[in-house]
Amino acid sequence: MCGFVGVVNLKHNISNEKDTIIRMNNTLKKRGPDECGYYTEDNVLLGHRRLIVIDPDGGKQPMTYQYNGNTYTIVYNGQIYNTKELKEELIQNGFTIDTTSDTEILLKSFICFHENVVDKLNGIFAFAIWDSSNKKLFVARDHFGVKPFYYAMINDYLIFASEVKAILEFPGIKAKLDKQGICELFGIGPAHTAGLTAFKDIYELKPAHYFVFQQDGIKMHRYWKLKSYQHKDSFGKTCEKVRYLLEDSIQRQLVSDVPLCTFLSGGLDSSIITLYAANYCKSNGLPPLNTYSVDYVDNDKNFVKTDFQPNSDNYYIDLMLHKVHTNHHTVVLDTPELADALEDAMIARDFPGMADVDSSMLLFCKNVKNDATVTLTGECADEIFGGYPWFFREDALQSGTFPWSIAISERQQLLNPAFSKNINLKDYIDYRYNESLDDVEILESDSSETAEKRKISHLTLNWFMQTLLDRSDKMGMYNGFEIRVPFCDYRLAEYVWNIPWEIKALNGREKGLLRYVMKDILPSEIVDRKKSPYPKTWNPTYLKKVKEMLSKIMEDKNAPINDLLNREYILEILNTDGKAFTRPWFGQLMTGPQLMAYLCQVNMWLEKYKPEIKV
């Protein structure tokens, strides 16, 4: 896992602009703390920061290879999980393989298969390959956008990078916030519309897309999407195939030349990952697996049961430890840490995010990084198998909007009245919501329930899951720490997408099929455990801390948040401990203290990035 930057100008010689690429690359030190490399030509500048995971000596980047008189150079962030199969195919096509690095496999696969290489890859990836002879750049991003890729065009320059902060280092590119950006931040945020950022003229390469940049500009292509077809497998065959695809995905992702672990919350998803990973270590004669969980000071005293978080983790973690006998470690975070890390979490995302849901993940990864460099997590199981409450709640299904973000009127009220009269968040949200649903393929053979759940699944996969994947990548890589997501294997997602809802939600349960598949190999209490999200602090001192932070901001009438948001409404939120904002800002956990923390992040973001605001 790494970070990269690049600048291409096909009309002018830019080889003397290396200082620019160095400044851009230096912003990504946290993504790649182990090595740094550059490649320059008349029309291209490439930079790379490396986090060493596979083949320390053979995986250096930028990597260059000459073939049939042409020179190809790659910068790449990710991990290819089917390198063994690709290696065999390359050898059959006359290539020699000199390292164990997946970077070499990826570069030579592109040379062999050209643009069709994206149809060959199983992994998480964002990469750019420069073809010197043809003056052509090829870039691609993985199926679900686990790894990031941002770009901008200014004059004759194409600028790209793993993070927005690197692009903002390019001369002439400034942070700008227009009407669409405000709608993204406060209508959609902390999610975002695929392909966009909140900054004007800075774009994201959409998941499952690639583009070619030549003299005639950018030509964009979509290479994959979830396709709907009638599911014909028997129930027994369906269970067998789900089990196979899941186990295969986990085992492929256990490859590493550096210490590897799993995150274990005692929930169904992380327990599945840990079970297969621990068994793999045992059967291959490896040391016992290291597992990690996160908790908070005094959470056991202050935990409050809710519909969204019905129970705490510790009892279930102990059940799993008796089952798999891993070396388990608990990272305990305190309230001041969570609040103090809000700014780092915002910088990691380059945007206001999920408040302490982000900062706690950042701190968790920071602690685990002391012992390991790679982890496997249970992320994405809820999206793939239908695990969220909104799959079952009629009010959410009938909301006519994104079910994790229904506080539309409250969001509108949060805007500064000077902007609010010119910006209709509901119109923007409705447009994006309907635009997304137009992409769903419903079959005539689908039952009404399956058709309805295809729509909500599509929204969840393409919006909510993307937000969590962004969180995992940015919070992990801010610490030079790689997070892998086996449930996000595109083969598993393709298969489960077409399983009828009546089977997917077997026995009327969230993730009912997944529970059934695991019922004989996991403790029954874990199989039956109701979904519980990533743990948050229940310590009342957190509310006190973020309230103090936000109050201090609001005492300064020149604080930039006052230019963008409704000062009177924020004061009302403060005075009611967040209760004036009647529904969660986002998802299941962003209420009261989290909303105040989010507002603190907004002010931090405005102070650091100083966007020029034009509506």
Angle, nearest 10°, between helix axes 356-368 and 342-349? 90
Q: 205: pLDDT confidence band, cut at 50, 70 and 90? A: very high
The single-letter code of the amino acid at 44 is V
**202: pLDDT strictly greater than 90:** yes
What is the DSSP code (8-state) at residue 499?
S
Higher pLDDT, 1 or 356: 356
Distances (CA, A) of 296 to 330, 535, 591: 10, 9, 18
Active site residues: 2
Q: 303: pLDDT confidence band, cut at 50, 70 and 90? A: low
Q: Round to whole Å and give the CA distance between 513 and 23.
A: 50
3-state SS, residue 205: coil
- Is the Cβ–Cβ distance between 185 and 352 less than 8 Å? yes
506-561 pLDDT, tens per residue?
Answer: 999 999 999 999 999 999 999 999 876 666 676 788 889 999 999 999 999 899 99
Report pLDDT for 304: 54
Q: Round to whole Å and give the CA distance between 100 and 115.
A: 23
Which one, of 542, 107, 493, 567, lies nearest residue 356 by Cα? 542
pTM for the model? 0.96
> What is the helix, strand, coil percentage profile of the chain, to 5?
45, 15, 40
Report residue 172: phi and psi, to 5°. 95, -15
| Of 356-370, 418-432, 589-603, minimum mean pLDDT range | 589-603
Q: Which fold has domain 2-176+199-222?
A: Glutamine Phosphoribosylpyrophosphate, subunit 1, domain 1 (3.60.20)
88-137 pLDDT, tens per residue?
Answer: 999 999 999 999 999 999 999 999 999 999 999 999 999 999 999 999 99
Q: 257: pLDDT confidence band, cut at 50, 70 and 90? A: confident
**40: pLDDT strictly greater than 60:** yes
**598: pLDDT strictly greater than 90:** yes
Q: Round to whole Å and give the CA distance between 253 and 50.
A: 19
What is the DSSP code (8-state) at residue 29?
T
Q: 567: pLDDT confidence band, cut at 50, 70 and 90? A: very high
3-state SS, residue 264: coil
What integer is the mean pLDDT of 370-388? 96
Q: Round to whole Å and give the CA distance between 275 and 267.
A: 12
Report pLDDT for 308: 47
139-163 pLDDT, tens per residue?
Answer: 999 999 999 999 999 999 999 999 9
Distances (CA, A) of 4 to 21, 149, 155, 474: 10, 9, 22, 14
Report pLDDT for 536: 65
Report pLDDT for 534: 64
3-state SS, residue 134: coil
Q: In the numeric block, which tokens belong to residue 250?
A: 């986990």
CATH number attached to the domain at 235-404+444-527: 3.40.50.620
**307: pLDDT strictly greater than 50:** no
Report pLDDT for 256: 85
- The angle formed by the CA atoms of residues 177, 178 and 182, to the nearest 5 degrees, is 75
Report pLDDT for 588: 66
Domain map (residue ranges) of the chain: 2-176+199-222, 235-404+444-527
447-465 pLDDT, tens per residue?
Answer: 999 999 999 999 999 999 9
